[in-house]
Structure 1
Amino acid sequence: MDLTDLEREMARLDAIYRPVATRPVDITDRDAFQNIGARIEADLARLGVADQAEAVLRAIISGYAGGDDAVRAAIRRLFDRYKSFRWAVHLPRQWHTAEDFRARLIHMSARDQGADTRDEILALQDMCERAMTAGIDVGPILDEVAAMSSDVDRYGMGSMKDVILQYGRRPA
């Protein structure tokens, strides 16, 4: 897929995911709030587009990894534009290999800190801890992905490149 096709698919999926992504959460409903993760997962599953979304995400990750600086910047802008897609679409929860870790880290780099750098730092630390527990040498992968990451400090906590290099080597 080229960037135009990827954007078209991201826009389509973003529109499908938007009602779930933007639905208000009633924090006064204790039962609903306690089960929010399961409810959101069920709502997303009912949309019936998970396989399509994963295929688009894998194409984005591949394009980001193989692209030049201009392609990667364009992909980061797509994640900024299609926030519901960014929020809803992720690789499968279970992973075990260095290539799985690399793909997740590239996805994180492409999101370029998402909506909150703090969430990305915690996710990065969790990913790195899981990878190290699985015996994966995270250092070379962190260096590789940091080199393709943005060096723009979007939220005053450092750039994505800085975040990967600073927090990736420290277990949570």
Structure 2
Amino acid sequence: MGVPGELADEVELVDALLKPLAERPVDITDPDWPVRLRDGPDPLDEAGVREEAEAALHRLLVLYERGDEPTRSAVRALLDRCGSFSWAARVPPGRTPEAFRQQLLYLSARDQSIDTRDEMVTLNGMCEEARAAGVDIRPLLLEVAELSSAEDKFGMGSIRDILRRAAWRDPVGLW
């Protein structure tokens, strides 16, 4: 099935509008650079594409969740091509099992993005927050792992393996 053309076009357009912001240089010699980065405007708002990005991400995740493996692979490939979209678009925060599940689906669809270590840190934080909210994370991790890629892109295991390992880790110190 793949990603419908109009949805792929939408994601690619938002990606193009976000690209200058994503590639904007950061002066790490400025001692206040982390504060400026953290407290600066959200890229989706700065580019004026929040509504479009959130709607497209929602549609992508529905497609990813309900689609067959070729469809999920096409979603992964689109997010890989559209790195600025993947960098800026976020699943709405929440402290419920469904919010955690949506975050996991997006992590799975990004398929390690450009740095497995960053995604592992993200996963660790997601798991800690969900546990603190009383979410039983193991079944959700295992469920999303089954939808995930088995390709070991960077020599640290596939996203499927990473999610499975997280499901069986001690709650303290996932990595």
TM range (shorter): over 0.9
- Separation of aligned partners in 1, 2:106 and 2:29: 34
Name whichever of 65-74 and 127-136 sits farther off: 127-136
Deviations along 1:36-72, one digit per CA (max 9) or x if unpaired, are: 122252x542222112101110111110000000000
Q: Is 1:164 matched with 2:173?
A: no
**For the Cα contact (< 8 Å) 2:116–2:156, is it kept in 1?**
yes
Name whichever of 9-18 and 47-56 sits farther off: 47-56
Which position in structure 2 is the counterpart of 1:28?
29
Q: Is 1:111 matched with 2:120?
A: no
Q: Return the TM-score normalized by structure 1.
A: 0.92
Whichever structure has more helix as a proportion of its residues is 1
- Separation of aligned partners in 1, 2:31 and 2:44: 21
CA RMSD of aligned residues (A): 1.4
Name whichever of 160-169 and 117-126 sits farther off: 160-169
- Separation of aligned partners in 2, 1:83 and 1:45: 17
Deviations along 1:76-121, one digit per CA (max 9) or x if unpaired, are: 00011111111111112x3021111111100000000001000111
* Amino acid aligned to 2:8: E
Could you list the runs of 4 or more consecutive aligned residues of structure 1 that deviate by over 6 angstroms after TM superposition?
none
- Separation of aligned partners in 2, 1:48 and 1:98: 30
Count of residues paired in the alignment = 169
**Percent identity between the two aligned chains:** 43
For structure 1, the residue ranges without an aligned partner over 5 or more in a row are none
* Amino acid aligned to 1:25: V
Other structure's SS at 2:32 match = helix
- Separation of aligned partners in 2, 1:52 and 1:168: 33
For structure 2, the residue ranges without an aligned partner over 5 or more in a row are none
Residue 168 of structure 1 deviates from its aligned partner by 4.3
